[in-house]
């Protein structure tokens, strides 16, 4: 813009001719001079010079944007980017359509809370035909803890989409669209990521699931590896895959105890009952998401799955656009189901706090029916 020609700016012809005669040809030439220098060089009065400089500045300055216009533009970009609906009405509304394309979405919570159940349901939704609300694609599912269950996948599909899964051969077709990789070490996981590059080109991959990233890191620590960003390259790789391929990436993460004597010890202790979501006891405030700050910065959406007084909640803890809301949910034969679509507003430290009240009781009851 600074090199824009004076002759193209709509100045009065008499002023434009004077500027041209004095070799003031671009906006940069004019704006680099003070008003008094320009008065002397062009032999013009102060009023004429000031008016000309204002006119030139208006033509070359970038247009201003209000905070509201920036917000609206971001909303439009989010909508154009696309989402994978979760099938959970309240959560989809809070996330403006579901799990967004092109970014990493993280599911954080203790073992057995329902993270894998959520991933199985998302895998089905990504593989469903578009006429049934799916993405009609394939899914890459990296199963680090051997929790993936084909039987449970089919059960969720049959209960959630009976009109599809009861069709002859459809259950096998849907299950065949989900490619499961089971690396047992960080080195094998790295090789799996390299395979993903090829799979993204060869197949219609519409979702990448990693269950779980924390299992990788904890395995490396047990073998004496450094705790400083052991997944640094992998984090950068996943972000670039999400951005370039424009697919949703869903990653599960565990919780750990941040205590003085045992920083990296995973902790799923339970405690006393509480009356409501805002009345937070201090004992479990030390539970945090594993993998640390570097990983958390790479995550665009963080959903915390927790238990409060024996009731499960899924909480929008991090999102550039969504409000912090918590939704009570249960796990049924059809997967995760919200008990309330309105959600409960969460504020302050409660947004990032992870609760495990009564967790062992619900895990004990679930073990009779479901896994994950």
pLDDT at residue 342, as a whole number: 92
Query: Contact, 115 vs 212, CB < 8 A?
Result: yes
User: Could you tell me what percent of the chain has a pLDDT over 70?
Assistant: 81
pTM of the model: 0.71
pLDDT band at 222 (very low <50, low <70, confident <90, very high): very low
Q: Which top CATH class is 81-371?
A: alpha beta
| Cα 188 from Cα 171, distance rounded (Å) | 30
Taking only the tens place, the pLDDT of each residue in 74-88 is 665 555 568 999 999
Round the average pLDDT of the chain to a whole number and report it: 82
Mean per-residue pLDDT for 31-60? 88
What are the boundaries of each domain within the chain? Answer: 6-60, 81-371
Query: Contact, 209 vs 239, CB < 8 A?
Result: no
**Residue 28 has which token pair?**
């940069």
Residue 63 contacts by C-beta under 8 Å, 6 or more apart in sequence? none
DSSP code for 114: S
Q: Does 274 have pLDDT greater than 50?
A: no
Query: Contact, 158 vs 149, CB < 8 A?
Result: no
């Amino acid at each position: 813009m600074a090199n824009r020609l004076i002759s193209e700016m709509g100045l009065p012809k008499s002023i434009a001719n004077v500027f041209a005669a004095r070799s003031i040809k671009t906006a940069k030439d004019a704006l680099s001079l003070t008003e008094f220098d320009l008065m002397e060089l062009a032999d013009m009065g102060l009023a004429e010079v000031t008016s000309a400089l204002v006119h030139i500045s208006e033509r070359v300055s970038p247009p201003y944007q209000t905070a509201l216009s920036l917000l609206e533009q971001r909303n439009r970009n989010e909508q154009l980017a696309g989402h994978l609906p979760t099938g959970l009405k309240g959560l989809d509304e809070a996330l403006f359509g579901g799990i967004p394309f092109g970014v990493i979405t993280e599911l954080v919570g203790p073992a057995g809370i329902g993270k894998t159940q959520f991933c199985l349901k998302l895998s089905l939704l990504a593989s469903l035909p578009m006429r049934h609300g799916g993405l009609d694609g394939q899914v890459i599912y990296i199963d680090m803890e051997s929790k993936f269950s084909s039987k449970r996948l089919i059960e969720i599909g049959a209960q959630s989409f009976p009109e599809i899964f009861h069709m002859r051969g459809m259950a096998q077709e849907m299950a065949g669209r989900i490619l499961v990789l089971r690396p047992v070490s960080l080195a094998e996981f790295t090789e799996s990521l390299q395979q993903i590059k090829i799979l993204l080109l060869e197949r219609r991959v519409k979702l990448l699931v990693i269950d779980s990233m924390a299992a990788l890191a904890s395995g490396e620590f047990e073998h004496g590896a450094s705790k400083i960003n052991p997944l640094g390259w992998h984090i950068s790789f996943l972000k670039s895959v999400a951005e370039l391929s424009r697919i949703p990436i869903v990653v599960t993460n565990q919780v750990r105890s941040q205590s003085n004597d045992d920083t990296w010890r995973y902790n799923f202790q339970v405690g006393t009952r509480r009356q409501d979501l805002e009345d937070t006891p201090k004992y479990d405030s030390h539970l945090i998401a594993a993998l640390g700050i570097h990983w958390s910065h790479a995550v665009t959406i963080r959903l915390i799955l927790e238990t409060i007084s024996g009731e499960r909640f899924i909480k929008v803890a991090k999102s550039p656009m969504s409000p912090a809301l918590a939704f009570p949910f249960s796990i049924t034969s059809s997967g995760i189901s919200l008990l309330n679509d309105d959600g409960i507003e969460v504020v302050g430290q409660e947004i990032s706090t992870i609760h495990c009240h009564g967790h062992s009781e619900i895990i004990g009851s679930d073990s009779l029916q479901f896994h994950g």
